[in-house]
Amino acid sequence: MQMMKTLLAATAIVSVMASAASAKTLVYCSEGSPEGFDPAPYTAGTTFDASSRAIYNRLVEFEHGKTSTVPGLAESWEISEDGLEYTFKLRPGVKFQTTDYFTPTRDMNADDVIFSFDRQRIADNPWFEYATGISWEYFNGMSMPDLISEIVKVDDMTVKFVLNRPEAPMIANLAMDFASIMSKEYADQLEAAGTKELLNQQPVGTGPYQFVAYQQDAVIRYKANPDYWAGKQAIDDLVFAITTDAAVRRQKLEAGECHIMPYPAPADIAALQENDDLTVGEQEGLNVGYLAYNTQMAPFDNPKVRKALNMAISKQAILDAVFQGSGQAAKNPIPPTMWSYNNAVEDDAFDPEAAKQMLADEGVTDLSMKIWAMPVQRPYNPNARRMAEVMQADLGNIGVDVEIVSYEWGEYLARSSEVDRDGAVLLGWTGDNGDPDNFLAVLLGCDAVGGSNRAQWCNEEFEALIQKAKVTSDVAERTKLYEEAQVVFKREAPWNTIAHSKVFMPMSKKVTGFVMDPLGYHRFDDVDIAE
C-alpha cells in the first residue's frame, strides 16, 4: 500500500516494478489519455480500457475473447414472446468498491440499474447533463431513447426493460460500455455535496480493479478490488503508463518498463517478433478505417463529388505507406469477418482522370478542403498523419487543394461530431458487440447525426433497411437487409472506406492469461505475471 501511495508519476514505474517483492504490479503502456472515467458519454476504446473494462461491470458481459454474451451483474434473464420485455434477475451480494472517497452501505440492486440508464434517456433527469459537454453518443446513436419505453423495478433484485419495439441485438447492446452499472448511492452522495462532476473523475464500480489516482497524460493507477464478486485478481497493482509515441512504447517494452503495449508501429512488428523475451499476439481486426465527408456541407452533399474524391485516392498507396502488410483494402463499412458482409459490392476504382472529369461535370473547380488527421494511433489507423499526406498528394493530382489539420484527441472527437464541421475526417471503428447494427446504425444511422455519425449522413433508403433489420429476429432476413444497405452505402459514398487492419499485441513472456479481444478491448481480469 505504501508503495502505491508513493507512485505519483510514470517516472516512478520502473523502480516500483523492481521493488515489488510481494505485490504483483503489471504495467500497461497505453496509447493515450481517457476522456473521462464515466464510460457512457464516450466512444473511444482508449477511454473504455481505462474505465469500463477495469472498473465497471454490466448486466451481461462478453465472453472473454469472444463476441458471445454471458451473465454479468444479471444472473439470468427472460424475454417475453413478443420481444418487448426483458426481465433481469440481479446477482446477489455484489458490492461497489470502497475507496478513499466512498464507502458503500448496501449491495448493488435495481436502483443502480435504473439510475445508470435513466440518466441517459430522460432529459429532465438531474444527471442528464451533470457535467459540461456531457452527451450520450452511444445511447442516442443506437436509438435507445425511442427504443426503451420504461425500466421497471420489479423488486430490489429484479429489473424489467419494456421496449417500444423488438430489438434483435438488445442483449449484446447491454454488454457494451455505455451500459456499465453505476452506484446510485455514490451519485446521491455527490449530488448532496454539489460535486456531481466527480462521477467522471473519481469512479466507483463493481469491477475487478478500483481506481486509485490519475495524473493526466502520464499515469493511471488501480488496485485489485478485494471484494470483486468474481474473485480478487492475481495482479495487485495495475498501472496504465500513458505513452502516446509507438516508438517509445516499444522501447519501454523491450527495456522491461512495461509488460504489454498496444498498437505497435507496423515497421516495428518484425523486430518485436524476433525478441526472445516477448510474445506478439495477432488477429484479424473487427474494424474499419474511413474518411467521412460532411454530407450536409457543399460540395460534399453531392454523392458524385464524394465518389469522384474516392476514385482519386489510391488505397494501395495507403496500404503500402501506412499499414505495411498489416491491413487490407476496405470496400464496405463492415469488416469481411462480420456476418452479412456483402462481398458482391464493387469498390470504387482508382481512376484519377475519371475523377477529375466527374468533378468538372458537377461544376466543381478549384476545390479546397480540409482533411482531419487523428493525433493518436488506433487499430484501424496506425498513422493518420501519413495517411492524410497520401490523400493530400493524390487529391492534389486532380487539382484539389488539401489542408491537413489535427487536434488533441478529446477535442478531435468532440469537434468532428459537430454537424457544421468543415472538411473530411479520418476516423474508424472497432465493433463493440459483433452485430452489423453496431457499425451501420451507430456510424451511419439518422439518430447518430451530430454524434457518432461523422458523415452527418441521413439517407431514407438506408435508414429504412437498417431499422427493419433491427426488429427482425430471423438472421437470414437480417443478412439480406444489411447486404442491401451496403449497396446503398456504396452508391451514396458518405465515406471513403480505407482499410481493415490486422491487430498485434506485443507483451512480455512473463504475462499469462491475457486474451486478445475481437472487440478491441484490453482487459486485465484473469491476467497474471510471473515473479
Check pLDDT > 90 for residue 392: yes
Per-residue pLDDT at 144:
92
CA distances from 435 to 68, 208, 235, 347, 380 (A): 10, 26, 32, 23, 18
CA distances from 357 to 214, 331, 480 (A): 54, 22, 35
Q: What cell was used for 123?
A: 432529459
Beta bridge partners of 329: 499
Alpha carbon distance 258, 205 (integer Å): 26
Per-residue pLDDT at 331:
97
Check pLDDT > 80 for residue 125: yes
pLDDT band at 278 (very low <50, low <70, confident <90, very high): very high
Check pLDDT > 50 for residue 2: no
pLDDT band at 65 (very low <50, low <70, confident <90, very high): confident
What φ, ψ does residue 287 adopt, rounded to 5°?
-145, 170
190 CB-contact burial (10 Å; exposed 0-12 / middle 13-18 / buried 19+)? buried
For the chain, what is the mean pLDDT? 93
The secondary structure element, H or E, covering residue 312 is helix 303-312
Per-residue pLDDT at 121:
95
Check pLDDT > 70 for residue 81: yes
What φ, ψ does residue 272 adopt, rounded to 5°?
-65, -40
pTM value is 0.84
Alpha carbon distance 373, 289 (integer Å): 12
pLDDT band at 9 (very low <50, low <70, confident <90, very high): very low
Give pLDDT tens digits for 138-194: 898 888 999 999 999 999 999 999 999 999 899 999 999 999 999 999 999 999 999
Q: For residues 272 and 22, which has the higher predicted lDDT (pLDDT)?
A: 272
Contact 266, 382 (CB under 8 A): yes
Alpha carbon distance 229, 239 (integer Å): 22
Strands (E), 254-382: 278-284, 287-292, 327-329, 368-372
Q: For residues 27 and 432, which has the higher predicted lDDT (pLDDT)?
A: 27
> Average pLDDT for residues 12-17, to the nearest whole number?
46
Task: Assign 3-class secondary structure to 70-119.
Answer: EECCEEEEEECCCCCEEEEEECCCCCCCCCCCCCCCCCCCHHHHHHHHHH
76 CB-contact burial (10 Å; exposed 0-12 / middle 13-18 / buried 19+)? exposed
Per-residue pLDDT at 473:
83
Percent of the chain scoring above 70 in pLDDT:
96
Per-residue pLDDT at 143:
85
Q: What cell was used for 381?
A: 489507423
Per-residue pLDDT at 135:
87
Per-residue pLDDT at 270:
94
Nearest CA-CA partner of 416 in 391, 452, 390: 452
Strands (E), 330-412: 368-372, 401-405
Contact 492, 462 (CB under 8 A): yes
> Average pLDDT for residues 290-319, to the nearest whole number?
98
Tell me 319's DSSP state: I
The secondary structure element, H or E, covering residue 87 is strand 85-90
> Average pLDDT for residues 290-303, to the nearest whole number?
98
Per-residue pLDDT at 141:
80
Whether omega before 299 lies within 30 degrees of 0, making that bond cis, reads yes
pLDDT band at 378 (very low <50, low <70, confident <90, very high): confident
pLDDT band at 294 (very low <50, low <70, confident <90, very high): very high
pLDDT band at 5 (very low <50, low <70, confident <90, very high): very low
Alpha carbon distance 221, 209 (integer Å): 10
Alpha carbon distance 284, 41 (integer Å): 28
Nearest CA-CA partner of 274 in 284, 283, 264: 264
Per-residue pLDDT at 133:
80
